[in-house]
């Protein structure tokens, strides 16, 4: 893939028109603060900015039911409303959701078409909690699942790996691919915490048994145990699976400064984890790595962490502005999670 752009990132002002209501943590301000940080860091010199297209209804139906898609459109067209107590829509939300999914589709087309190697989708609304027939957890359409299904159904890929480091378990993504051996889904998350899924025994169903890997970490888990999980399981499992495309649900509510969660990652932690994934992508799928924004509710912490992720994907160096990571609050419990997950993964080989 010589001559291919190293990385791009997708963004559209429409994403900020998805309004969630006063005081809602998943708010439009997440994106302009992050864009400003990207600009000030200089990383945009190494990662080209692009505007995505809209996904079609038929492309959304690769994952979601027609009835649910029509519900989202109807609520937005009526001026907005709530799908549940956490998941709000405004008049522009349906259009924003189509374009957010479109960023993943453009990413798949660009990576597989040889236009660029890696992309970061700076989108709203997020997606990894969305189920086929239900939105929840601030999510309307499951962007990363739509991208993965598109890659397999339209581009004929046979193996896609999704890593999810958001502090909330991606229950929607897990459920969509739970019986599918073509998708290896790996989640590292705080447990117990919303949405209550992602325990150790959730490893897949039927032909998909062994293709879901969960790390239900206790609150206060920090970089040392995330890196152990990557080194002992995530990267070896990825190499064994040999994905043709690597995808990342990049949530930053696992940051030490986040408002909703209690994990202890830092800006530099995300750069380290990104470097692991870039190395895996280089080894398995010609460097192709697609990331999409999920959670993250401390605006400055999220912005700095996105900068480090995009910098890692683009092969750029940006100085860290955070404190050194704190040790895990419950190292024995976090270690037990890694041991049990490693045991299950080894036995499924």
What is the percent of the chain with per-residue pLDDT over 70, rounded to a whole number? 99
Nearest alpha-carbon partner for 118 in 229, 275, 253:
275
Phi, psi of 253 (to 5 degrees): -80, 0
Find the mean pLDDT for residues 294-304. 98
Predicted structure pTM score: 0.98
Q: pLDDT per residue over 69-95, tens digit each?
A: 999 999 999 999 999 999 999 999 999
Q: pLDDT per residue over 127-138, tens digit each?
A: 999 999 999 999
Find the mean pLDDT for residues 18-39. 97
Q: pLDDT per residue over 5-17, tens digit each?
A: 789 999 999 999 9
CATH topology assigned to domain 7-347:
3.40.800
Residues classed as catalytic: 129
Neighbours of 161 (CB within 10 A): 27
Runs of H (alpha helix) within 163-321: 171-176, 223-229, 235-241, 267-284, 299-314
Beta strands at 212-217 and 160-164: parallel, antiparallel or unpaired: unpaired
Q: Please spell the DSSP secondary structure of 64-77, one letter per residue.
A: S-HHHHHHHHHHHH
Q: How many residues does the chain have?
A: 349
What are the residues facing 81 on neighbouring strands? 89
How many whole angstroms separate alpha carbon 38 and alpha carbon 306? 8
Confidence check: pLDDT of 1 > 50: no
Task: Please give the pLDDT value at position 3.
Answer: 59
How many whole angstroms separate alpha carbon 328 and alpha carbon 335? 10
């Amino acid at each position: 893939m010589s001559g291919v752009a190293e990385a791009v990132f997708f963004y559209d002002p429409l994403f900020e028109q998805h309004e969630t209501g006063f005081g809602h943590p998943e708010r439009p301000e997440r994106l302009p603060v992050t864009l400003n940080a990207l600009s000030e860091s200089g990383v945009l010199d190494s990662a080209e900015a692009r505007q995505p297209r809209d996904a079609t209804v038929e492309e959304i139906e690769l994952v979601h039911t027609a009835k649910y898609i029509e519900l989202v459109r109807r609520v937005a067209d009526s001026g907005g409303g709530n799908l549940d107590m956490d998941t709000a829509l405004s008049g522009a939300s349906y259009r924003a959701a189509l374009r957010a999914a479109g960023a993943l589709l453009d990413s798949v087309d660009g990576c597989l078409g040889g236009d660029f190697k890696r992309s970061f989708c700076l989108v709203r609304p997020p997606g990894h909690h969305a189920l086929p027939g239900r939105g929840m957890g601030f999510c309307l359409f499951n962007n990363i699942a739509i991208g993965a299904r598109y890659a397999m159904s339209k581009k004929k890929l046979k193996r896609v790996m999704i890593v999810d480091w958001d502090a909330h378990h991606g229950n929607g993504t897990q459920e969509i691919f739970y019986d599918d051996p073509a998708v290896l889904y790996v989640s590292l998350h705080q447990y117990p915490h919303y949405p209550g899924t992602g325990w150790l025994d959730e490893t897949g169903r039927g032909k998909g048994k062994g293709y879901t890997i969960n790390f239900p970490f206790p609150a206060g888990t920090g970089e040392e145990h995330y890196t152990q999980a990557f080194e002992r399981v995530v990267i070896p499992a990825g190499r064994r699976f040999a994905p043709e495309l690597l995808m990342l649900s990049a949530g930053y509510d696992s940051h030490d400064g986040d408002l909703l969660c209690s994990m202890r990652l830092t800006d530099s932690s995300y750069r380290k984890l990104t470097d692991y994934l870039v190395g895996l992508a280089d080894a398995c799928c010609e460097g192709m790595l697609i990331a999409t924004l999920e959670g993250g509710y401390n605006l400055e912490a999220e912005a700095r962490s996105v900068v480090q992720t995009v910098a890692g994907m683009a092969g750029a160096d940006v100085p860290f502005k955070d404190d050194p990571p704190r040790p895990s609050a419950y190292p024995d419990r976090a270690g037990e999670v890694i041991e049990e997950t490693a045991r299950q993964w080894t036995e499924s080989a």
